[in-house]
């Protein structure tokens, strides 16, 4: 089947999935409308139990929706068996054949399809090169590290050029350093093969590093869909702001509003300034988020502040090498986290119990759900 580049690789239309548990319907995916583009690196990100694996299994055909339809390359595959969908899946457990060599593991699917011997040899060779395993053809899985076995699993899943590759927390068993290395590798491999990847993770760093777009899921629903930068810089709900990275959130009433900015007065001389869309009027209660790395911490009251100013007392100081992280109990009522890059001298570090002043530029405040 030929597909126009504008046809989504994967599409969910009005999908709901309930599981039956002790005779009762348990909603796992409540309502899903989603289009994933051709060649996209797309991540489903959310806490355990939010419906990520269920969503994947509906793409693969291991689960059928209770309501709605799933399309692959524009074709309705609802009710189509998994082996007729031309998508592959990679899991955390590599599920390699232990008694076969790397070459044989990767060649397995092509041999079953009766691809010509020469073609198999060439395609396996190309794929092993892409996953950086050239020279390891004759090894068995037990003679390889976890990271190398994961590469074999990837090569095996990609060698027959599926429409899409589904990866369900594939790096969960690797240690942190190797996981970070594999994130970069996975992104490169995906670029080289040009196949649509759908990646499931509960790890926000992983999703931010690799994805073209991320769907943040919570309790069977997508809370926000966007680029890593959108999701991080412009969280649209309190859940997203809290789940992705660290956010400081201030509640307050608009006391003044002009020219696209609102001001929340927080005490004598203290205020939060936030850009808002037209129509956010004085008297309205809003929530504002600001990221810890956008805040400047001062030990004396700064003059000429353009933007937000709050004061507070330092309750924690944690040295992290590249930054010092402060917790500050503000007089505005919320605890703030501030990441201060260690670009200055040691005597500038504030200590626990000290009164400090926090400032940040107007554009670094973001109104949630406005």
| Three-class DSSP category at 353 | coil
Least distance (Å) from ligand ADP to the CB of residue 24?
A: 10
Which residue's CB is nearer to Mg ion, number 64 or number 76? 64
Which 16-75 residues touch Mg ion, going by CB under 5 A?
53
What's the min distance (Å) between Cβ of 264 and Mg ion?
39
Q: How far is the CB of 49 from Mg ion (least distance, A)?
A: 8
Residue 25 makes contact with ligand ADP by CB under 6 A: no
Encode 50-61: b = buried (16+ Cβ within 10 Å), e = exposed.
bbbbbbbbbbbb
| Nearer to ligand ADP among residue 196 and residue 201 (C-beta) | 201
CB of 282 to Mg ion, least distance (A): 46
Indicate which single residue of 25, 26, 95, 184 sits in contact with ligand ADP (rule: CB under 6 A): 26
Residues between 2 and 21 that touch ligand ADP (CB under 6 A): 19, 21
Nearer to Mg ion among residue 48 and residue 83 (C-beta): 48
Q: Which of 354, 347, 358 is nearest to 294 (CA)?
A: 358
Whole-number Å distance between alpha carbons of 220 and 304: 47
Nearer to Mg ion, 53 or 148 (CB): 53
Of these partners, ligand ADP, Mg ion, none, which one is at the site of residue 50 (CB under 5 to 8 Å by kind)? ligand ADP
- Give me the half-sphere count of Cα atoms (radius 13 Å) on the Cβ side of residue 161: 6
Q: Is-contact 221 31, C-beta < 8 A?
A: yes
Binding mask 35-74 for ligand ADP (x = CB under 6 A): -----------x-xxxxxxx--------------------
9/163 Cα distance (integer angstroms): 8
Q: Report the C-alpha gap between 310 and 193 in whole angstroms.
A: 50
- Please tell me whether residue 201 binds Mg ion under the rule CB under 5 A: no
* Alpha-carbon distances, residue 12 vs 75, 199, 202, 268 (angstroms): 11, 16, 21, 52
| 172 and 92 Cβ atoms separated by less than 8 Å | yes
* Contacts to Mg ion by CB under 5 A: 53
* Contacts to ligand ADP by CB under 6 A: 19, 21, 26, 28, 46, 48-54
């Amino acid at each position: 089947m030929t597909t126009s580049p504008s046809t989504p690789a994967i599409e969910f239309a009005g999908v709901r999935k309930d599981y039956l548990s002790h005779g009762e319907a348990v909603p796992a995916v409540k309502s899903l409308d989603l289009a994933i583009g051709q060649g996209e690196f797309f991540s489903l990100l959310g806490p355990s139990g939010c419906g990520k694996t269920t969503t994947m299994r509906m793409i693969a055909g291991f689960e059928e929706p209770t309501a709605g339809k799933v399309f692959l390359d524009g074709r309705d595959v609802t009710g189509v068996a998994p082996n007729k969908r031309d998508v592959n899946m990679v899991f955390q457990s590599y599920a390699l054949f232990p008694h076969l060599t790397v070459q044989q593991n990767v060649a397995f699917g092509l041999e079953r399809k009766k691809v010509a011997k020469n073609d198999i040899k060439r395609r396996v060779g190309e794929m092993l090169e892409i996953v950086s395993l050239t020279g390891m053809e004759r090894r068995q899985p037990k003679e390889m590290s976890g990271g190398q076995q994961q590469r074999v699993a990837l090569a095996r899943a990609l060698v027959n050029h599926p429409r899409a590759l589904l990866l369900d927390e594939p790096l969960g068993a690797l240690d942190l350093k190797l996981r970070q290395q594999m994130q970069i590798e996975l992104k490169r491999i995906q670029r080289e093969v040009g196949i649509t990847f759908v990646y499931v993770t509960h790890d926000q760093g992983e999703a931010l590093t690799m994805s073209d777009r991320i769907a943040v899921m919570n309790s069977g629903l997508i809370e926000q869909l966007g680029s890593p930068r959108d999701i991080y810089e412009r969280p649209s709900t309190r859940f997203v702001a809290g789940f992705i990275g660290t956010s400081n959130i201030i509640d307050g009433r608009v006391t003044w509003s002009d020219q696209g900015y609102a001001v929340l007065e927080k005490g004598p001389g203290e205020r939060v300034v936030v850009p808002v869309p037209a129509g956010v009027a004085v008297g309205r209660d809003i929530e504002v988020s600001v990221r810890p790395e956008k805040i400047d911490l001062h030990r004396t009251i700064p003059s000429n502040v353009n933007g937000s100013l709050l004061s507070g007392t330092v309750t924690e100081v944690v040295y992290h090498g590249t930054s010092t992280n402060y917790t500050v109990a503000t007089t505005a009522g919320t605890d703030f986290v501030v990441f201060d890059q260690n670009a200055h001298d040691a005597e500038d570090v504030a200590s626990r119990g000290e009164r400090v002043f926090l400032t940040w530029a107007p554009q670094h405040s973001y109104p949630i759900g406005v």
